[in-house]
Amino acid sequence: MKPPLGKIVQNIAREYFASSTCHGMAYIVHPKLSVVERVCWSLVVLLSLCACISAIVIGHQKWIEKPMIVSFSAKPIPVWKLPFPAITICPQSRIDVEKFNITEVYLRARANKTLSQDEWRKMRALSHVCSSVMRSKTDYYGSNGTAGGHKEANTSTPNSERVVEQLVRMSQSLDKLFQTCMWSFNFRPCEALWTRKVTENGVCYSFNMLSSEELYTADQAFREREVNPDVRKGGLHSLHASRLRSSGWTMENGYTLKEDLLAYPRRTASEGFKGGAIVLLKMHQQNREYICSGALQGYKVTLHPPDEFPRLSEYHIRIPPMQAVSLIVKPRLLTTQRNLHRFPYSKRQCYFSDERTLRFFRVYNEQNCEFECLTNFTLASCGCVTFAMPRDNTTRVCEAHEKRCYKRAVIRLMELDELSVDAGEELCDCLPACTTIKYDVELSNDWLNLDAMLDAMIGGQNEMKGMEPMLLYVYFKDNKFLYIERVEYMNFNGELANFGGILALLSGMSLTSIAEILYYIVVRPFALWLKVQYSRAVRPVTPPEVQHTGDNSLHFVRPWIP
C-alpha cells in the first residue's frame, strides 16, 4: 500500500530539520526534548528568520532606491587636468558716446521733441538691456510703439528692430575697452584671448569659452555672424578668439592624452597669478552715463565652465571702476562612475552626455537646459524670444513693446516650476550633468590711485586724464584639489556579502544552506520517487517504510532520527 503524501512530506521535513545547518532547527525535532522545549525553539528560529528576512529586504530596498553615494576622492586632482574657468565681463556703460549719445536723445524724448527714425530704433533696442528708469513720459516702447505725435516710430515692420545688430554697433569696441591682456604671465593680443558675446546683459566679452559653433547647434550659425560681423575665416582673423576651437576636451571625458598645456579650452599648470589671467580695462569718463546703466557703474563679471552659456542675470560679481580686483578660484568638481550608467537617471539624479540632448545646444548641462526651457516657454507665451535666447532663423525676436510679456514669462515659469516640484514632476526636468565643475571665488580688491601714480611718473601730464581703469586678476588658489565623486553604494559583491553576513549573524546559515533547502524541496523527493519507480520495475516489493505482519496488516515504521 502506498503511504500518504502528507506522511512523506512530514518525513522529509523531519529529516531536513534534523540535519539542517540553520541553528536551532535540530532541537525542533529532537526526540529527547519535551513539547514545550520544542515550541520554544520553534519560536526562536521563527523570530530569527523573520528578522533575517526583514534585514535583507530593507538593505536591498535601500540599494535599489539609492544606488549611489557621494564621497570625496582618495587622491587630489592637479589643476592642469581641469579647464581654466571661462570669464565673462559686461561693462555697465554699454554705449560708446561717440556712436550714440543716449543722455541727449533721452532728454529730447522726455520733452516730446522730434527724434529721427534711427534714434527711435536705437532707443527701442536699448530698452531691452537698460534699466527700467529709461522710459519716456508716454512710454515710447509701449504697446502702440509710438511716443507723443511721432507716428514714424510705428512704421517699422516686425523684426525690423534688429536688436543684436544695433547693440553691437553702439557698443564700445574691444580696442577701446581692453588695454592690456596676459595669460600665464605672458602678454597676448586681447583679441586673441577675448571675444564678443551677446548675453541678457547686452554686449559682453568672454575668455576661454567654447565658440558658438561648438556651443550651439548648426542652425545657430547666423548668430555668430550677428555678434562678430567683422571676423572672417583665414588670414590674421583666424587668430581671433572667436575662431578658436576645442582640441578634444569635453566636460565628461576631460582632456585627451594627446593634448598638451596649449590645448583649448585653456588650462594652467600653476596656481597663483603667474598661471592665471590678467586684464586691464579702461573706460573714459565721457562714456559714463546714468540713463541706461543706472546708478551702478563699473563691470559685471562671472566665472563659468567653458561649455556653459553665461547668465549674468542669475549670478555675477560687481566690480567698480578704479579698482584692482583678485578673483581667487577654487574649483568644485563632481564626477560620476561610469558603472552607474546602468541605473535610470531618476535614481542617479544626473544625465550622462548620451542620455539627454537639447534643441539649441550641443552640450548638455543644467544651465543650458534651463535657458532653453525658458526660451521655449517664452516662445509659447509671447510668440517670440529675447535677443539673447537661442533660436532658429525663422523665430521672431521680441520687440520693445513686448518686453513686459517676456519678463512676465520668466516669473510665471518660476512659479510653475515650484508648483511642479511640489507635485513631484519637474516642468523643465533639467537635472545636472553627471560631470560638473563649479568655481568658488574669494574676492580681494583695492583702489587704484591712477592720478597720483601718473603725477609721480610723468609729472602731471594729462594724456590719461579722465580714464577709469579696472585691473582684474583671476587665478587658482591651490595646485591640487580634492573632488567629489558619485560612486555605487553597493555593487553585486557587496550585496552578496551583506546578504551572507545577515544570514550568518541571525540564523547561522550560508548560501550552502539555501542549496540545502532546495535539495530537500526538489532533489530529495525526486530521488525517492525514482527509487520507488526503479524498485517496482525490478521486482514487486513493498515500500521500504512498510513491513508485512502475520495478520496481513500494514504498519508504518518511523525512521530513526538521531
Residue 422: what residue type?
Answer: D
CATH H-level, domain 83-94+171-352+433-488: superfamily? Acid-sensing ion channels like domains (2.60.470.10)
Sign of CA dihedral 73, 78, 84, 85: positive
Say if residues 226 and 397 touch (Cβ distance below 8 Å).
Answer: no
| Cα of 161 vs its chain's centroid, Å | 35
Residue 49: what residue type?
Answer: L
* C-alpha angle 312-314-317 in degrees, rounded to nearest 5: 55
Residue closest to 295 by CA, chosen among 148, 450, 185, 133: 133
User: What tens-digit pLDDT sequence spans the chain (562 residues)?
Assistant: 556 777 777 788 888 788 777 778 888 888 888 888 888 988 988 888 888 888 888 877 877 777 788 889 889 999 999 999 999 999 988 888 889 998 899 888 888 888 898 998 898 899 889 875 555 444 444 444 443 334 343 434 444 578 999 999 999 889 889 999 999 989 999 999 999 999 999 999 999 999 999 999 988 888 888 888 877 554 444 578 888 899 889 999 999 888 888 899 999 989 998 899 999 998 888 888 888 888 888 899 999 999 999 998 888 999 988 899 999 999 999 999 998 898 888 888 899 999 999 999 999 999 999 999 999 999 999 999 999 999 988 889 998 888 889 999 999 998 888 777 666 667 888 999 999 999 999 999 988 877 676 666 665 555 667 788 899 999 999 999 999 999 887 777 777 777 778 877 777 777 777 788 888 888 888 888 888 778 878 765 555 554 455 555 444 444 444 4
Spatial distance between the Cα atoms of 268 and 242, rounded to a whole number of angstroms: 20
C-alpha cell at position 246? 576645442
Spatial distance between the Cα atoms of 220 and 466, rounded to a whole number of angstroms: 40
In the chain the first and final C-alpha atoms are separated, in Å, by 27
Strands 323-336 and 484-488: parallel
C-alpha cell at position 226? 550677428
- Give bridge partners of residue 324 from the DSSP assignment: 446, 471
Say if residues 351 and 455 touch (Cβ distance below 8 Å).
Answer: no
Residue spans per domain, the chain: 5-66+492-535, 83-94+171-352+433-488, 366-432
What lies within 8 Å, CB to CB, of 532 at 6+ separation is 543
> Which H, E and C letters describe 15-29, residue by residue?
HHHHHCCCCCHHHHC
Residue that has been written with the C-alpha cell 586724464 in this structure? 465
Spatial distance between the Cα atoms of 126 and 277, rounded to a whole number of angstroms: 31
CATH H-level, domain 366-432: superfamily? Acid-sensing ion channel domain (1.10.287.820)
Alpha helices in 152-256 (DSSP H): 163-170, 174-177, 190-193, 212-215, 221-227
Concatenating the DSSP letter of every residue in 67-100 gives -EEEEE-SS-EEGGGSPPPEEEEEES--S-TTT-
How far, in Å, are 49, 499, 504 from residue 45 at the CA level? 6, 18, 13
Grouping H, G, I as helix, E, B as strand and the rest as coil, residue 258 is: coil
